Amino acid sequence: MTTPIVVGNWKMNTTADQARQLAEQICSQVTERALDTRTTVVLCPPFVNLSAVGEVIEDRPIALGAQNCWSEPYGAFTGEISAAMLRAVGCRYVIVGHSERRTIFREDDQLIVRKLERVWEEKLVPILCIGETLAERQLHQTWDVLSRQLALVSAHSSRTRAWICAYEPVWAIGTGIAATAEEIEQAHAYLRSFLDAHGCHHVPLLYGGSVTEENAASIAAIAHVDGVLVGGASLVAERFLRIIQAQANA
């Protein structure tokens, strides 16, 4: 593993002015506190604010990411955004298969793997999100669900390219109830051995789901946690910075 990765997923929040201001606050503090040498920080604003945030972080040690992209390279797909467009505005990372996309927008594993292919074609780094629902966990199906969500990717000829896997239990996202240290440790141990067995030793494993400045240090200390994907707490600069700090200190 190299440096821990901290991704801020702003979801459908911020206007352009708010996005610029938030990026500015995060950037200046990351540099001032010398956190850039010990972490990789990625900001994922809404599509329409990518350029505004890109201007703020240009030449600074923070990377730009998108929250989604479409599965075809171009064409008649009204309302969609291609991976090439994301590269052209300066993105280096793209979140793919977030549980909100899977649930609200009915994205399935076949669609998600086509999106990964587009992202790889543009030499961007996909951040693939996987995770079980509460019902699946209660039915003891967690490992089956995670293996199924990884099946197409772990058999793909491009799996040796750069990508990141984010374990985000659906029941922990936006609920204020993060998985316990034990649950995270078990899931990450399972996923690490699954990925290693499929030639993906190089793939960092992030945890996501109600990460806060309070639980960040204990999550950072868990084996096989290579970073975090943060939603709500990434919208307040000081909270996000404390999470970055926890990863830097781990």
Nearer to ligand PGA, 155 or 177 (CB): 177
Q: Are 211 and 189 in contact (CB under 8 A)?
A: no
Cα 177 to Cα 158, 180, 195, distances in angstroms: 35, 9, 27
Nearer to ligand PGA, 49 or 99 (CB): 99
Q: Largest Cα–Cα distance of the chain, in whole Å?
A: 48
How far apart (Å, rounded) are the C-alpha atoms in residues 42 and 67? Answer: 11
Catalytic site residue from 100, 168, 183, 213 = 168
Q: How far is the CB of 11 from ligand PGA (least distance, A)?
A: 7
Residue among 180, 190, 221, 183 nearest 4 (CA): 221
Q: How far is the CB of 208 from ligand PGA (least distance, A)?
A: 4
> Which single residue brings its beta carbon nearest to ligand PGA?
231
Q: How far is the CB of 155 from ligand PGA (least distance, A)?
A: 25
* 188 catalytic per annotation: no
Q: How far is the CB of 149 from ligand PGA (least distance, A)?
A: 15
Residue among 209, 126, 130 nearest 166 (CA): 130
Q: How far is the CB of 212 from ligand PGA (least distance, A)?
A: 8
Nearer to ligand PGA, 9 or 245 (CB): 9
Q: Which residues bind ligand PGA (CB under 6 A)?
A: 9, 168, 173-174, 208-211, 229-233
Nearer to ligand PGA, 76 or 104 (CB): 104
Residue among 239, 237, 208, 245 nearest 67 (CA): 208
* 183 catalytic per annotation: no
Nearer to ligand PGA, 158 or 218 (CB): 218
Catalytic site residue from 98, 183, 213, 224 = 98
Q: Which residues are catalytic?
A: 98, 168
